[in-house]
Chains A and B, each alone.
Chain A
Amino acid sequence: MSSSLPLTDPGLQPSRSWKNYLKNNMRDYGMLLSLFAIMIFFQIVTDGTLLKPLNLTNLVLQNSYIVIMALGMLLVIVAGHIDLSVGSVAGFIGGLAAVMIVEWSVPPALAVLLCLVAGGLIGAAQGSFVAYFKIPSFIVTLAGMLVFKGLALALLHGQSVGPFPPTFQALSSGFIPDILQVGTLKVTSLAIGILAALAMVYVSFTSRLRQQQHHVETDPAGFFILKNALLFAVIVYFTYLLASYRGMPNVFIIMFVLIAIYAFVTSRMTVGRRIYALGGNEKAARLSGIRTERLTFLTFVNMGVLAALAGLVFAARLNTATPKAGLGFELDVIAACFIGGASAYGGVGTVMGAVIGAFIMGVMNNGMSILGIGIDYQQVIKGLVLLAAVFVDVYNKRK
């Protein structure tokens, strides 16, 4: 765009054509389309195994903790930092939970609460070094990674601790109870899915109405209907698949609620706006009255709590805490954010992008495992996909 754009009145602009519209919004939909393309690809090459209800349920369970951490990581990255310690923290918290519940017989609910607080404290410790003592986050969290990896080993005496009582396991491997059951179909789960899909359509419809009232340019009507219909169909179809196995996993609900909250916070709340401002131009943000240090600190506290939650989910899923839990999680989490379009320089990135990025990684992991590709080449392919995604992003921006 040039600086000499003519003065035009908002609302008097001719509505853009579909083609134009797609071109301008390619970034937003490109990610989602890539995810679908990858899913269809693996669906075909795995002879339909990928979307079998059992496998889909596994896919959700396997990726839940990555998605949960990606939500926190996105804020950290948008704020212009990085957190390398999340895998170790998750592992350490899993160990802490095991010691508390299994060895000390602390009630699971209390233990979960204490673990989340511990995660917050870990985040606060790292965050204060980054925010107030101005030590680069890369270094602080690299140190944290080593520290908590070591502490997890020490805490568990190098051994696995388990099993957990069923109430704790339910955090991850439990499914929402079903009131009505028609054949093998879990109707409650399906109903929740349909309700959620309806709510989404309703929200996007009212916000479109509001935008039109204020003469804001909106998606072309046909496109809007198609988009919502597709979204509705996809959600209902996936919940149907889940419902035809054991229903919705509890962790799916947790994940879904968190995604909704973080998407709202980042896009509509002042605190979200301030984090983007902080990452986009810290000095300008500070001079605009934003308390940049406190905000940086809080993004790390938030990351710590989410890493703890992920650690709990992971331990509950394995039904045991091992010293090796969480190993390398940080790489998947960070990769998810960057595949999802976050900028390593800060200030750019979306929650939905990070979630889609996490699922792209997850589908690839899952699909390649089904195909029997060795862990060696899986890593090679994942690395190349990360590089390619960021390359396309940077290349498009330069054009």
Chain B
Amino acid sequence: MNTPTLFFRILIASALLLSTGACTKFIDFEGEDSTPRLVVNGAFQPDSVFEIELSNSLGFIDISQIQPRTDGSVAVYDGNGSFVDSLTHIGDGRYRSNVTAAVGNTYTVRASSGAFGEVSATDYIPDIMPIDSWDTASAASSDPFFDNSGLDIFFTLSDPAGSENFYMVEVFESAGYYIDYVMDPSTGEFVQDTIYLDFGPQKLYLSTTDQVLLSEADGFADGGELYGETFFFSDRLFNGNIRRFQLRLDYYSGIANLEIRLTSASQSYWRYRRTIDRYDYSSGDPFSEPVQVFTNIEGGLGIWAGFSASSAVIEF
């Protein structure tokens, strides 16, 4: 049992002791009568069609199911306010256009549904930021059980000068192979063969001691090391410079391909994903500070934001 756990147990025991005379009662909740708002969720990237989900919010203690809005009217406009396309309902509150988004462009979404008034949001697609180069090195795992099975991944990024840029980096394990002895059904003998794995991209849990990533951390660092599946960072500390970043896999089997995915995000997309990440991390912890999830929908809730992604595949 680690120290925090022990402390919590003792604290809970103390709280129970103190609360022997405590009274619990249901009280009126002012949020009970909160007026539902239209919710728009849509993220767009280069060369992909616009797609959003339309629903409405409910009061926090309302136990009814949130229903998708299927009677909505959704349209996208460009940065000059010119009409781009009208989105068609394709089922379950999802609306899709036939037009694709382009890098560097700004788009505004306007949506309405039933008695809900029109809501809108505007955002842009930042330039794609390619991974200039990458390399790897074997590393000691922080878990002694894995011995020296860790892997350090390094990648280099050239940040453009004069603009504020926001990034997210993730590593996926996608496909791979290994060689093993398998029984030949025709002869019944064991022969060497290549076993291919294709399990779809799986996001990996990472750590880093990279100072830029640490400085942007939301406090999920431990002992000077940052842990997580997605690292969020801005160019605040290296604006206009080329920088080499370090990521670590605590355990890498060496039999699957790795994909480094670098997302160049608009500030809205970055803030949304970052706060959602934090929301999930602290969910269920009664002692953590509650998390506000970012929204940029005027008159409603949700997110309308752009991003572009680049990746590098490390094949083994």
- Is B a genuine binding partner of A? no
Q: Which A residues fall within an 8 A CB radius of B? A: none
Residues of B within 8 A of A (CB): none
